[in-house]
Chains A and B, each alone.
Chain A
Amino acid sequence: MSRRDRGSVWRFLLPVGFLAFTAATVAAVLFKDWMPPVASEHGKGVDGMITYILCAAGLIFVAGHLLLAKFIFTSGADDAPAYKPIGNKAEMLFTIGPTIFILLISEIGVLFIGNPIWGQVFKEDPEDFQIEVIAKQFEWIAHYPGRDGKFGPFRMEKYDEVDNIAALWKKDKESRDDLVVRGKLILPAGKACQIRIKSFDVLHSFNIPAFRTKQDAVPGIYTKTRFVATTPGDYEIACAEICGVNHYKMKAKVQVLPLEKYMKWLEEEPGFFE
């Protein structure tokens, strides 16, 4: 066993390895945009928050690895003179300094950048368009309140896989003009939408990556999320909470229309029981 190994190879190899890893990671962040193109108002804020942390955390990541590489590379060989204390003052500075620095940058980020955007996602404004999204194994169903602006109540007893996928009842007058769209969510651009999410069976998660929107669908309660889609076009819903064997197939289209087109579609589409 070579416990008196002076480690000439490792003294060189380890710092090079750590530096290469750091450089590769930093390059991957700088030279490629990994995020899906953003298409919602709060999504830009989410991306701003992520950029802030990337800068702050990147600084710590790089500084930490530079120090690690330096300490390894410049450490004395085994037969060098024994360790001499660094001194309490230097030690205090070295430990307390970074600790306070990291606490400050992370708390400032969450308090002044993160939480206000978080607030936007959960804001409730009666002016917003109300849309309901139903999740069930393994599909998404959009439910619009129709001309009366009221969602028909769920009548789970009336559920039918073929004829009544949204579990509505035609004798409820709120239900009659409701719109039900299977596998597609149609949205207006430039207008805030309040989405209330319902699950019929197990947990799912309503995830539109391009909007930076993600909210679990929880059976028994309504969950809510809110966004303003900025750009007309096609996007995707992907389920983000394991919901069974076909979890990976549980997707739906998101179609963002210009506001006038959206209003026209709402007008013309016949109600579920009409």
Chain B
Amino acid sequence: MALTHSHGTDAAHGHDHPSGFWSKYIFSFDHKVIGVQYLILACIMGLIGAGLSVWFRTQLAWPGKAGMSPENYVMAVTMHGTIMIFFVVSLSLSSGLGNFCIPLQIGARDMAYPLLNMLSFWTIVPGAAIMVASFFVEGGGAAGGWTSYPPLSALPKAAPGSGTGQTLWLLAMAIFVVSFTLGGLNYVATILNLRARGMTLMRMPITIWTYFISAVLGLLSFPALTAAAIMLLLDRHGGTSFFLPSKLILSGQLQTNTGGTPLLFQHLFWFLGHPEVYILVLPAVGIAFDVLAANARRPVMGYKASVFALWAIAFLGMIVWGHHMFISGMNPYLGKYFSISTLIITAPFALLGVCLLGTLWRARIRFNTPMLFALGLISAVGTGGIGGLFLATATADLHFHDTYFVVGHFHLMIGVTSLMGTFAGIYYWFPKMFGRTMNETLGKLHFVGTMVGTFVVFTVQHFQGMGGMTRRYYEYVNEYVKPAAALNPLVTIFAFIAFGSQLIFLVNFFWSMFAGAKASKNPWEATTLEWTAESPAGHGNWNEPPVVRGDPYRYGEGADGKGWKLQTDA
């Protein structure tokens, strides 16, 4: 699959510049090419990550019929989580679309550090390769959950994947962090320094704000994960005991470690882990704002309020990580604090939601594929956010923690919301990437399948969680959980529908690259800067750099009944 994909893309452009093939399409400095490279890598990883979920969903619905052992199962859920979060959603939304649209939307010719940009892509490739390779080592891939809590992940004997598989997992994660940090630095530097003339901060599209904020969040929080990964590596191979307390007994053997605590790892992990949620969700919301405005033919509601809400979410997101640890054994007073602080986030989030919703007020909606995904995102982010109210409250978390309620909730947020934003962005910017549009019929089919599939899967999982159905179970053998577990076949069938719809997307994506209808410069009649460049935009984006003369969402303005104005128009 990998081979055909990358070969296919290259061929699409090969006939234009046959001589400069390697420098133009493989080791390119061009942010647009790098963005597309990330997207393609994310597609490949997405097939693996989502494929794993199809495998273990089959096991859950029809135990024993999927040819899956308990060892396979814990590995599959661990690797599904890791791959989807770090190598699919991060790569497609954050790195892929971010690279593509940031310079175009702020009027820059490229990223601030194009070489660094290329390096950050070619750093993540071996990272992804190592992650995939870990399936094939002895004992299989990591199997301690995507959170990799020690001691399970620290002691090779604790789980089958805690041998070489876990080491490779940590290595791949460290590489991911390096790549992501390089990318984040580039985003911050680019957005602060390379904006076109007239592009003041408060004239930036909300997409840019969200990429900026998520890059800042990433730079502040990822070092904690780096530290945790290095300490865990040392615990595994260097004889240290950061996370390992004295006198553990494993398979009847007394271990020699002394003096560490597993809680330290959890704090370090979630100090990144929680901001990571916003790193992935905010850009999706940002893209939705742009797409909504363009297709509702009106400015976003509450631009300033939204920017303020985004910063508030980012700040609060840094101080609430403990809500993942209510029952971890940390001091119960902290539970009260983290409940109160987490629920404060509902305020800026509600503000953001209202602005999304308000952008449809008195609108003139064009129901094209990007718009459908943006509309789906509004429902996903609202539904997912409401589940968050339950989990943010320590008292309710006593029942919901580590059940399918959590699984349903975070999939709606960092799964459905992020990917709906990503898809909206891909359908929306595809003309700018390849000079062609994606097929609308297939796009709408993809939307319906995704919407129906994911919403049924993850909403039903909330109810399974209410029934106390614990996550990461190979099979449900407890009596109390039978009614909830009886819904598993239903969930699995809709998971298949959701997965199948993504195949439609892949076909559409690669087919439209060569055979999509030719697109004009500004097919959506949108107002932001990227639509002043050619489709596809050449290296350097513009012959003459654009000069910005107004707000990003100039719909409802303009003379001669046109009803909209480019950001560059006087």
Contact = CB atoms under 8 A, between A and B. Distances in A.
Interface of A: 1-5, 7, 9-11, 14, 17-18, 21, 25, 28, 34-36, 45-47, 49-50, 53, 56-57, 60-61, 64-65, 67-68, 71-72, 75-78, 80, 82-86, 91, 94-96, 98-103, 106-107, 109-111, 113-115, 117-119, 121-122, 136-137, 156-157, 159-161, 167, 200-203, 205, 207, 209-210, 212-216, 218-221, 223, 235-236, 238-249, 251
Given A50-B399, A202-B158, A99 B463 contact: no
Given A17-B451, A156-B247, A61 B382 contact: yes
Interface stretch (B21-29, B179-187, B337-345): B337-345
Given A28-B463, A115-B394, 18 more contacts: A65-B382, A68-B360, A71-B361, A83-B563, A94-B301, A98-B354, A103-B344, A113-B395, A114-B339, A115-B395, A161-B252, A207-B468, A207-B470, A220-B260, A221-B263, A239-B470, A240-B470, A242-B149
B332 A200 contact: no
In order of increasing CB-CB distance, the 5 nearest A-B pairs are A220-B245, A7-B367, A209-B468, A83-B556, A10-B367
Contacts of A136: 249
| Interface-central residue, A110, A200, A220, by most chain B CB under 10 Å | A220
Given A11-B367, A118-B395, A248-B475, A91 B158 contact: no
Interface string B408-433: 00000000000000000000000000
Nearest to B438: A1
B160 A245 contact: yes
Given A36-B480, A115-B339, A167-B249, A244 B467 contact: no
Contacts of B150: 202
A14 B470 contact: no
Nearest to B245: A220
Given A99-B354, A110-B340, A205 B362 contact: no
B543 interface: no
Interface stretch (B38-46, B371-379, B499-507): B371-379
B396 A53 contact: yes
A220 B261 contact: yes
Interface in B340-387: 340, 343-344, 346-348, 350-351, 353-355, 357-358, 360-368, 372, 375, 378-379, 382-383, 386
Interface string B447-467: 000010001000100010011
B254 A157 contact: yes
B477 A102 contact: no
Interface string B153-173: 001001110000000000000
B340 A83 contact: no
B94 to A, nearest CB: 27
A36 B400 CA distance: 12
A238 B478 contact: yes
B296 interface: yes
Interface in B301-330: 301-302, 305, 327-329
Contacts of A246: 70
B250 interface: yes
Nearest to B464: A34
Contacts of B188: none
Contacts of B252: 159-161
